[in-house]
Amino acid sequence: MFGKKKPVPQIDREQMELIQNAQRRIKQKRRLYIHFVIFLIGAVFLIVLNTVIGVGETTKIAGMDWFVWAILGWLFLFVYHLFNVFITHKFMGKAWEQEQLDKLVTKQKERIAQLEKTIDSDTSLVTKSSSVEEKKTPIVNGLTLIVAAGENDAIGKDNQLIWHLSDDLRRFKALTSGHAIIMGRKTFESFPKPLPNRKHIVISRQKDYQAPNGVIVVNNLEDAIDASKGDLQPFVIGGGEIYKQAMPFASKIELTRVHESFDADTFFPKIDPSIWKETDKTFHSKDAGHEYSFSFLTYEKYKF
Ligand SMILES: NC(=O)c1ccc[n+]([C@@H]2O[C@H](COP(=O)([O-])OP(=O)(O)OC[C@H]3O[C@@H](n4cnc5c(N)ncnc54)[C@H](OP(=O)(O)O)[C@@H]3O)[C@@H](O)[C@H]2O)c1
């Protein structure tokens, strides 16, 4: 409103740079032209100095008059100047450098964009697969499989245990007492009666499966896990079908490894060492009360 308005340039930055560049080139060429003229005058002057005035008349270098050497030296400088204006500035001048730099930057940008694309798709794949995996098998903290298995993973035959190991039964009782025990219908039916001091959750596909009072019957594993909520360490006590389904959800395995291979019809699933870490081991040798040697092993699931 007050004071003088600054004059607004009528040309943009790019045009300004082009004009400045053109001015620089004109100056360079003018300097070269002046150099050429001075060189010509200088050369004539040197010839006159030597041949007419007689300066250094007898001085020769490698058999040639000194002024010839002086003119040749100057000519070399002039050629260098010429080369600088028309060749080096054109190919290695600022504009040429900028052009090369722009090319490199464009290439790098393309490469970065490509890498970003790859990373994005990889990340989404990882997120997708891990989230699908999580959805499929959300690990239930505290959910423990308790089992006794032979060296060949045998756990039963004809709906019965294959061995009698009193220390193992004692351990089973000590660990599971006061907790929820989840089992398949067949395992439940292998007991003469429900085990004392434990909440029984029996899984069966039969909608009208009848069980004694106090025994909870559910129709799938997820409902069994739900029914055990409130217990910090619910146990899955078998059998083969239920261990297999529950293993992905479990966070711990209490295994009694009986050091013998058995003929069996039911087996415990393989323990994958990349998923399960052995955290405890106690060996028990064969004795009067135990027909086989065995080890109590604890496995905990790695947290990924
Ligand atoms: N060594 C050990 O530590 C140990 C421990 C426990 C058991 N065992 C042995 O294991 C054997 C029994 O195991 P098993 O594999 O034959 O039977 P199981 O796992 O005890 O029970 C299988 C039954 O569970 C029900 N079931 C399984 N999956 C189900 C699902 N997704 N939804 C609803 N119901 C489902 C079905 O009942 P319905 O048929 O009623 O539908 C099925 O027939 C016996 O020999 C036993 O002695 C050994």
For 179, other C-beta atoms within 10 Å of its C-beta total 20
**Residue 197: which residues within 8 A CB-CB, separation 6 or more?**
177, 178
In 204-293, beta strands by DSSP E:
216-218, 235-238, 252-258, 266-267, 276-284
pLDDT in tens, 6-34: 554 455 666 777 777 778 888 888 899 99
> What's the confidence (pLDDT) of residue 10?
53
Ligand 1: distance of its center to the CA of 295 in Å? 24
- In this prediction, residues 92-120 reach a mean pLDDT of 75
Q: Could you tell me the pLDDT band of residue 105, with boundaries at 50, 70 and 90?
A: confident
288, 225, 218, 294: which is closest to 254 by C-alpha? Answer: 294
Ligand 1: distance of its center to the CA of 145 in Å? 13
- For 103-144, the DSSP string reads HHHHHHHHHHHHHHHHHHHHHHHHHHHHHHHHHH----TT-E
Ligand 1, closest atom to CA 243? 19
Ligand 1: distance of its center to the CA of 72 in Å? 107
Q: Could you tell me the pLDDT band of residue 39, with boundaries at 50, 70 and 90?
A: very high
For 290, other C-beta atoms within 10 Å of its C-beta total 17
Ligand 1: distance of its center to the CA of 229 in Å? 21
Is the CB of residue 290 less than 8 Å from the CB of residue 164?
Answer: no
pLDDT in tens, 244-285: 999 999 999 999 999 999 999 999 999 999 999 999 999 999
Mutate to test the pocket of ligand 1, among 204, 221, 225 (most ligand atoms within 8 A of CB): 204
Mutate to test the pocket of ligand 1, among 157, 187, 195, 217 (most ligand atoms within 8 A of CB): 187
- Residues with CB under 6 Å of ligand 1 are 147-148, 155-156, 159-161, 183-187, 190, 203-206, 209, 219-221, 237-242, 245, 266
- In this prediction, residues 137-160 reach a mean pLDDT of 95
Does the pLDDT value for residue 131 go beyond 90?
Answer: no
Q: Which CATH architecture has domain 144-301?
A: 3-Layer(aba) Sandwich (3.40)
Ligand 1, closest atom to CA 161? 47
Does the pLDDT value for residue 122 go beyond 70?
Answer: no
Ligand 1: distance of its center to the CA of 274 in Å? 26
Is the CB of residue 161 less than 8 Å from the CB of residue 262?
Answer: no
Q: pTM for the full model?
A: 0.63
Lowest mean pLDDT among 12-16, 217-221, 225-229: 12-16
Ligand 1: distance of its center to the CA of 240 in Å? 6
Domain ranges of the chain: 13-92, 144-301
> What's the confidence (pLDDT) of residue 120?
63
Q: What is the mean pLDDT of the chain?
A: 87
Ligand 1: distance of its center to the CA of 187 in Å? 5
Helix axes 13-47, 66-83, angle to 10 degrees: 170
Mutate to test the pocket of ligand 1, among 163, 164, 200, 205 (most ligand atoms within 8 A of CB): 205
Nearest CA to ligand 1 atom 8: 239
